[in-house]
Structure formats: structure tokens, C-alpha cells
Structure 1
Amino acid sequence: MADPERKDVPTRNKERTRALILAAATEEFADKGFAGARIEQIAARSGSNKRMLYYYFNNKEDLFLAVMEDTYKTIRDAESELRLLDLPPIEAIRRLITFTWDYYIKHPEFLKLLNTENLYHAAHIKQSKNIGFYNSKLIGTLHEILIHGQREKLFRGGVDPLQLYISIAALSYFYLSNNDTLSTVFMRDLNNPKAKVERLQHMIDLVLGYLMLSS
């Protein structure tokens, strides 16, 4: 069997192999959870083999942590591209809410991975040296938006940016992750396009209604 660490293998090929394994692992862990995911299936999905997988990620726990770190980095990088600090404060908040909602809809694996890690009381991501850095940048950005809004006499003071972001995320997260049960118990289709448009507008109105000073 060829040595996966061969010196003559171009770096870009090694990076591509690692990325393929990571993408396959993301799908497997999202579909089956940490306990149900199988290394053999991840290797097969990536077009690789178990030896290569262990070469890059050591073990299943390290691979899952790499998936979680990549998951958080991806959403935070996408948020950075919004350039929220270049927008007026109200528009920045509206853009962040809309982005969060749309991202969760387009990336259901994100919600599934969060659900899985919460079952383990964040045991894996507690080992990360990077996730805190990824998330602190967002909270710092939100803090600056709130300060900007206060200076323009648009937003109330005393708002904790971390609490605000948790509320923004929760408004989307709960609705989407519990959509089937909510639709059933309330006998209303909450997953159709009209319901989703109404939900997004409700979230925007709710958050801005909390933030904005009374005229």
C-alpha cells in the first residue's frame, strides 16, 4: 500500500484529500450522529481508505472535532463577507438575521451537528483551540453595530451582544429544528414558502422592536 505521506505528493493534492475526507465526515456525522457514524463509510464517501483517514485525523474523535471546527469557521467566514460594519446599524441587524435564517435553511447539517454535540455536552469542542476565536469575532462585530446604533440614537443601551446573538440564532434554530413537530401539534404547515417568509419578517420585527428606541 502506498505511503500517504509520500514526499513527492503535491501539497495541493494532500489538501484536497483532507478536504474530501472532511466533507464526507460532515455528511456522515450529520446523517448518523457521532455514535452512529462509521469510519469505513466516511472513507468510502471520500473515495479514500481508513489508513489515509487516520493519517490525517488520528481517530474518530479528532475527526469529529475537525468537522465541528470547520462547520463553525465556515459560517463565521460567510458572516464576515456580509461586511456588516459597512452598513447602517438597522440594516446590519436585518442583514444578520436574514443571513442566519437563510444559512440554517441551506445548511441543515449545521443544525444536526449542533444537536449531536449538545448530546455530548460539548465534550468535543471543549478541546478546540479555535472555535472560541471564530465566534468572538462575530460578537465583537455585533458589539460595534450596537454602539453605532446607540450613537445615532437608534438603539437602546445596555444590550449584551452575546445575548442578542443567541436570541437571533435561537429564533431561527428552534423554528427550523422543530418544524415537523410544531406543524403537527399546531395543525399548520410551517414549512411552506409563505410561512417561511412570514417567520423571517416576524424575527426581524421582534429583534428590531427590542433594540430600537421609541420615537
Structure 2
Amino acid sequence: MTGEPRPELQRDAERTRADLLAVATEVFAESGYSGARVDEIAERTRTTKRMIYYYFGGKEGLYMAVLESAYRGIREAEQRLQVDHVDPVVAIRNLAELTFDHHLDHQAFIRLVAIENIHRGEYIGRIDSLRTLGQPATSLLDEILARGHEQGVFRADVDALDVHLLISSYCVFQVANRYTFGFLFDVDFTETTRRAHLRRMIGDVVVGWLTTH
């Protein structure tokens, strides 16, 4: 006897934890930290409140796990992007468009970011892993920008954080202001043709900005 959990039990535990995170992400995104109820999360996952406390230590621990998971999702998507031996102009466009797609396909992530900013970063500041988790985003951009500089196609007065800020701002706006902007200007950001237009637009903006000397 090794004392290690049987593989099937470990798989069940991982599945339960993943289900709790998925449902909690939606509940926190819908209701905010204050409005979210642990009982509702337990009910929607067909488990018990005791299991939430077992895996996450309570509501606060669950919320922080949700935040970490949400940020990890976009970083993992970025790391799957192949940029080696890719023309830097193509690579930066691909990264901008990938970010656009991820934000529109994971709108709960944007709502969670908005909620955390309402709380002035009270909880994200306790998740030390997110500081290192954010590094691959700028490292990837550093790599693309460095090759663009070497080839003389990118301007030299722009760094990775500048590009990250520009792309993130545009992509977040598509979700954060979807309903207000949509009402004021009678536009649906999610309509297929418009979404494709807006996706191309962020690629054009970033490429045009970086290649302007």
C-alpha cells in the first residue's frame, strides 16, 4: 500500500474541482463576488457546500481560484500560438486576432476582470502566481517585436507592454461595452459579419501602428 489515491478517485476529484470552477466562473461573472452564493454553485454542480469548502476553503478561496483559472486561460491560448519562424508582421496580427477571439468567446473572463477592478484589485493582489503568469504574455510580444526590430519592419519606440495594453483595451471594450455601445449606436458586436470586421480591424490597427516609422 502506497497510500496514494487510486487513479479513478483522482480523476473524479479533478473532474469535481473542474466542474466547480466552471460553474463558479459563471456565477461570479453573473452576480459579482458579493452577490454570488455558495449554495447556488453547489446546487448547479449537483454537489454540496461541504465539497466547495473541501476543495477551495470557502467562497473567497473559490473566487480566487476562478480568477487564476480565467487568467491562465488566455495565457495558455497565447502560448499555443506558433510564432517561431513566422514573419513578425503576421505573428503580431495573429496574436491580436487570437486575443480578440478569446475575449469574445470567454466573456465571463471580462466580467470577472471588471468585478475585480470594482473591488480595486482586492483579491487579485493575493494571487502571487498571477504575476509570473502574466510574464509569458509580454515575453511572447518581446520575441515578436525583437524579430520585427531586427528586420527593420517595426518602430523602435514601442515595447511589449504598449502593445499588450492596446490589444487588451480594444478586445475588452467589445465585451465590457457591448450592451451600452450597442444600444447607443444600434450595433451588435456579435453579429458574424461585424465580428469578422472588428477582428480584422484590431489586426490592422496594431500592424499599422507598429510599421509606421
Task: Give the letter for the 1:176 counterpart.
Answer: V
- Work out whether residues 103 and 171 of structure 2, in 8 Å CA contact, stay in contact via their aligned partners in 1: yes
Deviation at 1:194, TM superposition (A): 2.4
CA distance in 2, matches of 1:181, 1:21: 31
Percent of pairs identical after alignment? 35
Q: Quick check: 1:28 aligned with 2:42?
A: no
Residues 112-151 of structure 1: matches in 2 within 5 Å?
112-151=111-150
Deviation at 1:163, TM superposition (A): 1.9
Deviation at 1:83, TM superposition (A): 1.9
| Paired position in structure 2 for 1:168 | 167
Task: Give the letter for the 1:120 counterpart.
Answer: H
- Work out whether residues 94 and 203 of structure 2, in 8 Å CA contact, stay in contact via their aligned partners in 1: no
Q: Quick check: 1:64 aligned with 2:63?
A: yes
Residues 10-159 of structure 1: matches in 2 within 5 Å?
10-159=9-158
CA distance in 2, matches of 1:80, 1:190: 26
Q: Which deviates more from structure 2 when the two are superposed, residues 55-64 or residues 170-179?
A: 170-179
| Paired position in structure 1 for 2:184 | 185
CA distance in 2, matches of 1:186, 1:77: 34
CA distance in 1, matches of 2:59, 2:76: 25
- Work out whether residues 24 and 62 of structure 2, in 8 Å CA contact, stay in contact via their aligned partners in 1: yes
Q: Which deviates more from structure 2 when the two are superposed, residues 83-92 or residues 41-50?
A: 83-92
Report the secondary structure of 1:174's partner residue: helix
Unpaired runs of at least 5, structure 2: none
| Alpha-carbon displacement from aligned partner over 1:103-145 (angstroms, at most 9, x marks no partner) | 1111111111111111111111100121111111110110111
CA distance in 1, matches of 2:57, 2:171: 35
CA distance in 2, matches of 1:44, 1:120: 26
Deviation at 1:190, TM superposition (A): 4.4
Change (3 A) 1:86 1:80: farther
Task: Give the letter for the 2:33 counterpart.
Answer: F
State the aligned residue count: 209
| Alpha-carbon displacement from aligned partner over 1:84-111 (angstroms, at most 9, x marks no partner) | 2342101111111111111111111111
Deviation at 1:203, TM superposition (A): 1.6
Unpaired runs of at least 5, structure 1: 1-6
Task: Give the letter for the 1:90 counterpart.
Answer: V
CA distance in 2, matches of 1:86, 1:169: 25
Task: Give the letter for the 2:205 counterpart.
Answer: L
The normalised TM-score by structure 2 is 0.91
| Alpha-carbon displacement from aligned partner over 1:130-163 (angstroms, at most 9, x marks no partner) | 1111111110110111010010111011212112
| Runs of 4+ deviating beyond 6 Å | none
Report the secondary structure of 2:156's partner residue: coil
Task: Give the letter for the 2:21 counterpart.
Answer: L
Change (3 A) 1:45 1:187: closer
Change (3 A) 1:191 1:22: closer
| Paired position in structure 2 for 1:4 | none
Change (3 A) 1:188 1:13: closer
